[in-house]
Structure 1
C-alpha cells in the first residue's frame, strides 16, 4: 500500500476555511477547500493526528479509489475491484454509508446495498467467507460519495463523528455542536487571548460547551484524547505503533497543559436545571480545576476585572422561534449590551446569533461578522470590542407622566425608534389625562397611527400589551422586522415601564377559532377595574386578553340600563358585559359561549365581584342554543366572531352570511319593550336591509367609542334593535 493517501475531511458548512488552516497546521499537504470538506494528501501519521487533534472536522476519510459510475453495475464493479483483504478480515463486520445520487441511483439505501454486495462478494470469492453487517460498531466503516458521475470510495478513520468528544452526555434544549463551538472560539481569537493569559466568560452557558472547548484549547488538550473506539481500531491497515506514539505525546501535552495555573474561565446560567449537567460535562472533560459554573441571571453576570484582567465574552443567546418572542429577545440583547458596557470594558466579545438584527440592538458596533450555519439555520458571529469608541450613542427624551419610575442606562434608540417614542409620549400625555379623569385603567394608547409601525399598543395599568399586525406582502420583511424592533426598543423608554412588562403578539387575519387558541402556559391573571367592577385579564396566554377594550362604552351602557332586567349575553367570551349587567342590578343574567375555558373565566369574573346566584352560564353553539331556548329577556347583547368553525359546533358560522338569522332567533326571545345590542368588528360588514323592515334599528357606533378608539372608528359597529 502507498504510504501517502488522499484524505477527505468533512465539516459543517461554513467551517471549510478554518478547517483548511487547521489541517495544514496538522500536516495535510496540497490541501484544498470544497463545500463542507477539505481534501489533501498525507501519510498515516498525519491521518491519525487529524483524528486526534482536529477541533473542526466531522470525519477523516481515507480515499481508496475514485472511478466513474454510469449505472448501478459500474458502481458495483468499481467497488469490487478494490482488494478488500487489505482492509477487512473476511469474517469481520462492516457498515456502509452512501451519499449523493445520479447514474440511475437515486436512493441512498439502494446505493449502500450495492457497495456492501460488492465488498461481500469480493471477500467471499477469495476466502469462502463473508463479513457481516454491523451498523453500530463495525470493524470497518466504508463511505462512498457519488458526485457528478464519479464515485469517491473511502474508509472512515474516525468512526462516529469527531464533534462527539465524549464529555457531553447531558445537553440542553438547543446545544451547539462541539466543533461549531470550537470554530466560534477560533474566529473570536480565543487561542491568542488564552496564550496571553486572558479570561473567558459565557453569561448564558447552558451545559457549558463553549467553556469546555475553550478549556481544552487553553490547556493544550487534544479534543478526542479520551475517545476509546476509532474507525481505524480494527482496520487491517492500522499501524498501532504510530498511533500509540502520537497518543502518548498528546497525553503528555495534556498533562503539562493541565498542570499549568488555570486560566479564569467562568459560565453563568439562569436555568437551575442545567447547572449540574454542565458541571458533569466539565468533570468528564477533565477540566474541573479550570472551569467554574454559577447560577445567575444575565444581570448578575460579573466577569473578572481585577488586576487589569481582560478577555473574551462569548455566548449564543436564544434566537426566538415563537410569535411574541421578539419583545423578550430584544430586551435580552439590549441587556446583554448594557452589561457588556457596564462590566466588561476593554474585553472582546463574540455573539453567535440566528437573529443578527437583534445583535445590532446591543448598542456596540461589531468590527467583524462571519456567516456560519447552526445545522441548516444561517447565523452570524458578531465580534465586538467593548470600548467607548465602539458604542452606538443615542438620545433619550424624558417621558411625560411615567407609569413606573425606571433608573437605568439611557437607551440608545435609532432615528425611527426615537420618532416612535415621541409619538407614544404625545399620545400618553393626551390619553393619560383623559383616562385619569374617567377612571379608566386599561386603554389603547396607539393603533397604527404611523402606518409604517403597524402595532396596536394597549396599557393595562403598568403593563403594555403589543399586537403586531401582520405586514402586507408588499412590505420588505427585513424592513418590517427593523421597524418592529425599533418600536419595541422605544416602548420602555417612552413609557417608563420595565422591559419584562411588555408582551407582544402577532395578530393575523382572523380565521376559525383563532381567538380561542392558546399562546402560552403562564396562567398569570391580573385584576383590573372598570366602571366599579373587577375583571381578570391574561396578557400572555391567549391572542386576546379577556377584555375587549373597544367595548368599554357598551359595557357601561349595559350597566346603566340593566336594573331589574333579564339579561342575555350571546358569544359572551369572558362575560365582562354580564358582570356589568349584574353590577347594574339585573334581575338575572344568562351567558352563552362555546368555550369551556372562557366560561370558567367568566365564572371567575362573576365570583370576583360577589355574583353567583341567578347568574346562568351555558356552554353551547349559540344558534342551536337559541333555537332550543324558550326564555324571555329584556336586554340582549350579541358580539359574534367574524368567523367560527369549532369542532364543537355543527357547520361554520359566518357573521355576514348568518347575522340575519342570528338576530331573528334572538329577537324571538326579546320581551316587549326590550332592547338588543348587536355589534361586530368585521370591517366589510353590511347589515341585512330586510332586518329594518322587521325591527326598529338605529346604528349607535359613534356612541360606543371612547377617545382611545376615536382615531379608529372602524374598530367595530354597533346597533340598537327593538320590536318598535
Structure 2
C-alpha cells in the first residue's frame, strides 16, 4: 500500500484559494486553507509533482508531526523524538528555521537554537557523529513553527523558493515574482484564453515575467523544469526513480507543447535596456521562438499587424508611484493606456495590476472585477476590464479629463492670479514667483511658478497640513484637484509638477530641510520609481544671476522666493563692500551681492549639501573663489571664534538664521526668539564703523528685543521688502536693518 504523507504548500498572501484549486487539479487531497498556506495529503509522488508543476507555491513542506509544548525542555524533547537519522546523514549539512513564540519561549532565535541542539544530540547519540550546521547549501532544511503552544515540525522539500524558476537572471527595477505573475494571469482568465487561441500582450513588459509565465502555461511547460535542484534530492528518503519518471513526463509534455503553434505572446516597453533583460530571460526559458518583444511607448500600443491575431488578454503592471508628484505624472501614462485600449482593442480583455488603484481612474475604463493581493508587502489590486463593453462609451478621451466643479473653481482662481501676479512678474522680469497661497481656505497650499533659463515652466506645490477635523481622503482629493487645476491652467507636462506636504517641524525634526525627500520616505521601493527622474535640477535667472533649482529632492528648492526683494536690497547695499552671509543656505544672496559689485564675501553654513549647492551657484556665475569664500561651519561657533580677529572686518552682514535648530552637528541649540540679542551683538562687533547688519527670520510671532532697539539704530523693513506675490501673507518674514548709533 502506498504511504500517504501530510504536506503544506506555502504561497504569497491572497493566493490560498487559487493554490488550493491548483493542488486539486494536480490530484492532491486538499485538507485546509490557512493564511499564506494550504495543507494537502498525498503520496511521495504527489509531493514531487507539486514541486515540479505548481505555478503558485513558494515551498512544499513535508509535515513530520505536531506537539503541544509549554517550555524549552518540552520543545527539546518534541524535536529529539523525531528520527532525524532517517532524514539526514550525520556527515551532512543541516539548517534549522524557527518561527513563533509562546509564554515561555519568547525569542525565535532561542527556539531555533534549542531545536538545533535536539537534532544534533539525537544524531550524535544514534550514529556517533553530528552534521554541520550552515545556512548555505544545506542537505536538509528543518522548518519549525510555534503558534501558542502548538509546535509544527516539517522539512523543506523545495530548497530555494519555487518562484525562482531559473530563467530570470536579468531583472528590472521592481519585478513581479514569477508565482505572483502566474496568479495574476490565472485570475485574468489566461489559461482559457490561450486554449481558445487568444493572444497575450503586455505594453509595459519590463523584464518579461508575464510573457514567460504566459508562454509556459500555453505550452504546458512545468515551471520547475529549469531549476537546477530541489531540496528533496539530498533527503535520505528521496526516491529518484519516482522523480526521474515525473521529470521525463514533464519533458515530453514540454516538447509536445512547444511543437504546436502557440498564441501570439508579445511584450512592449519604452526602455530598450530593460528589453535586453526580457530577451535574455525569454531565451533562457527556451521560448525565444515563441515570445517576442519590441521597443514601443504606450502611446503607440496597437494590435500586432504582422499576422492574424485573435483578441485575447492585455495584461500590465504599470508603475504606480510613491510620491504625489510621481502619481500625477503617471496619470498621463494611465490615460494613454486607456485611450489605446479603447481605440485599438475592442473585444479584448484587460488586466491592470497596481498598488495605486486610484490611478486606474485615469484610463477612463470601468473594471468589472477586482482582486486584492500583495506585491511583496505592498497592498495591491488586479482590476479586470472588458474592453468591448467600454469601447462604445462616451467621453473616450481621458488624456485630458474634464475638471470637477471644485477643481474648476481652483482653476478660475489660478487664471485670475495669472492675469494679475503673472503679468506683474512678466513686467518686472521676475521668473520665479508665488502664484497662489491658500487663496481658497479649503484648498490650503502654496503654488510657486518657476521658469528655467531655457524657457521651460515648472510648478512647485506645497500642501499645508490639513486640520485634524478634515478626513485624510478629503484632504487628498482637494490636493489632487489643486494639482489638476495647476497642470491645466499652466499647461504643464506631468513631470514638471513637484508636490510636497509642508508642515511645521517639531524640534526633533529640525534637520528635515537638510534631508533628501527620498531619505524621509519608507525604504520600500515601488515600481513607480522606475524611470521617474526626480533628481534633475535646472537653472533659473533672477535679475541676471543664474541659480540652481531642485524642486524634487529637498523640502526647499534652493531659492527662498519671499527673499527676492531682500536679495535685491542686499545687492545694492553690498556694492564695493565686504559681505558676511551667515546661515547662507545655497548662497543665493551672496551671488546677488557679487553680481552687484561686492568686493569680498564670506558665506557660512553647516550643511555640506548647501555648501556644495552654493559652490555650483558660484561657478555658474563666474565668481572668483579667492574673493568669495564658502565655509562649512556651525555659525554659532564660527561667530564666537571670529570675535577676536575679525572685529571691524565687514561692511555688510546678512544674518538669516532658522527659527529653531538642534542639528546633531551643532554644539548648541538655536532658538531665534531667545538667542537673537546675542547673535545681533556678536554680528555688530564684526562690523566696521559705518557697517550695516541685515537681520531676517521667518518666525511669525517674533518680537525684537527692547535692549537691542535701545542700543542700536533699528529699522523694520519687513513691509518694504515684500513683493506683490507675497502681499497676501505679510508675516512671511521679518527683516530688520541695524546700524550703530
- Scaled by the length of structure 1, the TM-score of the pair is 0.87
1:368 is aligned to 369
Matched, 1:459 2:443: no
1:355 is aligned to 356
2:561 is aligned to 549
Identify if the C-alpha distance between structure 1 residues 721 and 87 changes in structure 2 by more than 3 Å, giving closer, same or farther: closer
Paired with 1:391 and 1:540, the residues of 2 have a C-alpha distance of: 40
Please say if residues 268 and 295 of structure 1, whose CA atoms lie closer than 8 Å, have aligned partners that are also in contact: yes
CA offset digits 1:677-715 (Å, max 9, x no partner): 322112222221222212233323222222211112221
Paired with 2:254 and 2:262, the residues of 1 have a C-alpha distance of: 13
Identify if the C-alpha distance between structure 1 residues 179 and 415 changes in structure 2 by more than 3 Å, giving closer, same or farther: farther
2:184 is aligned to 184
Please say if residues 12 and 374 of structure 2, whose CA atoms lie closer than 8 Å, have aligned partners that are also in contact: yes
Identify if the C-alpha distance between structure 1 residues 432 and 155 changes in structure 2 by more than 3 Å, giving closer, same or farther: same
Please say if residues 28 and 40 of structure 2, whose CA atoms lie closer than 8 Å, have aligned partners that are also in contact: yes
- Could you tell me which of 400, 413, 418 is aligned with 1:423? 413
| Superposition deviation, residue 192 in structure 1 | 2.2
Q: Mean Cα displacement is larger for which, 566-575 or 59-68?
A: 566-575
SS in 2 for 1:479: helix
Paired with 1:49 and 1:613, the residues of 2 have a C-alpha distance of: 73
CA offset digits 1:364-421 (Å, max 9, x no partner): 222222111223332222223335738998799xxxxxxxxxxx94235445444433
Paired residues, number: 713
Please say if residues 364 and 396 of structure 2, whose CA atoms lie closer than 8 Å, have aligned partners that are also in contact: no
Identify if the C-alpha distance between structure 1 residues 244 and 454 changes in structure 2 by more than 3 Å, giving closer, same or farther: same
Please say if residues 198 and 309 of structure 2, whose CA atoms lie closer than 8 Å, have aligned partners that are also in contact: no
1:383 is aligned to 384
1:442 is aligned to 432
SS in 2 for 1:278: helix
Please say if residues 394 and 414 of structure 1, whose CA atoms lie closer than 8 Å, have aligned partners that are also in contact: no
CA offset digits 1:450-492 (Å, max 9, x no partner): 3443332211121222223344555433333333334333332
What residue ranges of structure 1 are gaps of 5+ in the alignment? Answer: 397-407
Paired with 2:22 and 2:378, the residues of 1 have a C-alpha distance of: 24
SS in 2 for 1:184: helix
1:26 is aligned to 26
CA offset digits 1:179-221 (Å, max 9, x no partner): 1111111112221222222222333333222221111111111
Please say if residues 363 and 393 of structure 1, whose CA atoms lie closer than 8 Å, have aligned partners that are also in contact: no
Matches within 5 A, 1:480-629: 480-510=475-505, 511-519=509-517, 524-561=536-573, 566-586=578-598, 591-595=603-607, 598-599=610-611, 601-602=613-614, 605=617, 608=620, 612=624, 615-619=627-631, 620-623=633-636, 624-625=638-639, 627=643, 628-629=645-646
Please say if residues 20 and 30 of structure 2, whose CA atoms lie closer than 8 Å, have aligned partners that are also in contact: no
SS in 1 for 2:706: coil
| Superposition deviation, residue 610 in structure 1 | 5.7
Please say if residues 363 and 391 of structure 1, whose CA atoms lie closer than 8 Å, have aligned partners that are also in contact: no
Identify if the C-alpha distance between structure 1 residues 27 and 639 changes in structure 2 by more than 3 Å, giving closer, same or farther: same
Please say if residues 431 and 708 of structure 1, whose CA atoms lie closer than 8 Å, have aligned partners that are also in contact: yes
2:661 is aligned to 644
Identify if the C-alpha distance between structure 1 residues 6 and 630 changes in structure 2 by more than 3 Å, giving closer, same or farther: same
SS in 1 for 2:231: coil
- Could you tell me which of 718, 723, 737 is aligned with 1:706? 723
CA offset digits 1:21-41 (Å, max 9, x no partner): 111111122432111111232
Q: Mean Cα displacement is larger for which, 3-12 or 508-517?
A: 508-517
| Superposition deviation, residue 19 in structure 1 | 0.7
Matches within 5 A, 1:320-359: 320-321=321-322, 325-359=326-360
Paired with 2:394 and 2:422, the residues of 1 have a C-alpha distance of: 30
SS in 2 for 1:720: strand
| Superposition deviation, residue 112 in structure 1 | 4.0
| Superposition deviation, residue 613 in structure 1 | 9.0
Identify if the C-alpha distance between structure 1 residues 445 and 341 changes in structure 2 by more than 3 Å, giving closer, same or farther: farther
Please say if residues 558 and 581 of structure 1, whose CA atoms lie closer than 8 Å, have aligned partners that are also in contact: yes
2:693 is aligned to 676
Paired with 2:253 and 2:30, the residues of 1 have a C-alpha distance of: 28
2:46 is aligned to 46
SS in 1 for 2:233: coil
| Superposition deviation, residue 70 in structure 1 | 3.4
SS in 1 for 2:232: coil
| Coordinate RMSD, CA, aligned | 3.5
Q: Mean Cα displacement is larger for which, 176-185 or 629-638?
A: 629-638
Paired with 1:568 and 1:154, the residues of 2 have a C-alpha distance of: 72
Please say if residues 199 and 264 of structure 1, whose CA atoms lie closer than 8 Å, have aligned partners that are also in contact: yes
- Scaled by the length of structure 2, the TM-score of the pair is 0.85
2:464 is aligned to 469
Please say if residues 660 and 688 of structure 1, whose CA atoms lie closer than 8 Å, have aligned partners that are also in contact: yes
Please say if residues 417 and 490 of structure 1, whose CA atoms lie closer than 8 Å, have aligned partners that are also in contact: yes
Please say if residues 363 and 412 of structure 1, whose CA atoms lie closer than 8 Å, have aligned partners that are also in contact: no
CA offset digits 1:407-441 (Å, max 9, x no partner): x9423544544443333233223322222222221
- Could you tell me which of 680, 697, 715 is aligned with 2:714? 697
1:405 is aligned to none
Identify if the C-alpha distance between structure 1 residues 457 and 140 changes in structure 2 by more than 3 Å, giving closer, same or farther: same
1:722 is aligned to 739
Identify if the C-alpha distance between structure 1 residues 650 and 383 changes in structure 2 by more than 3 Å, giving closer, same or farther: same
1:259 is aligned to 259
Please say if residues 90 and 130 of structure 1, whose CA atoms lie closer than 8 Å, have aligned partners that are also in contact: yes
| Superposition deviation, residue 556 in structure 1 | 2.9
| Superposition deviation, residue 444 in structure 1 | 0.8
| Superposition deviation, residue 270 in structure 1 | 4.4
Identify if the C-alpha distance between structure 1 residues 173 and 420 changes in structure 2 by more than 3 Å, giving closer, same or farther: same
| Superposition deviation, residue 357 in structure 1 | 3.0
Paired with 1:633 and 1:389, the residues of 2 have a C-alpha distance of: 72
1:661 is aligned to 678
Paired with 2:189 and 2:107, the residues of 1 have a C-alpha distance of: 43
Paired with 1:591 and 1:347, the residues of 2 have a C-alpha distance of: 64
SS in 2 for 1:211: helix
Q: Mean Cα displacement is larger for which, 39-48 or 683-692?
A: 39-48
Paired with 2:517 and 2:89, the residues of 1 have a C-alpha distance of: 59
Identify if the C-alpha distance between structure 1 residues 32 and 586 changes in structure 2 by more than 3 Å, giving closer, same or farther: closer
Matches within 5 A, 1:306-321: 307=308, 309-321=310-322
SS in 2 for 1:247: helix
Q: Mean Cα displacement is larger for which, 326-335 or 421-430?
A: 326-335
Q: Mean Cα displacement is larger for which, 512-521 or 164-173?
A: 512-521
| Superposition deviation, residue 255 in structure 1 | 0.9
Please say if residues 88 and 140 of structure 1, whose CA atoms lie closer than 8 Å, have aligned partners that are also in contact: yes
CA offset digits 1:626-660 (Å, max 9, x no partner): 52423355544332222334566542332212211
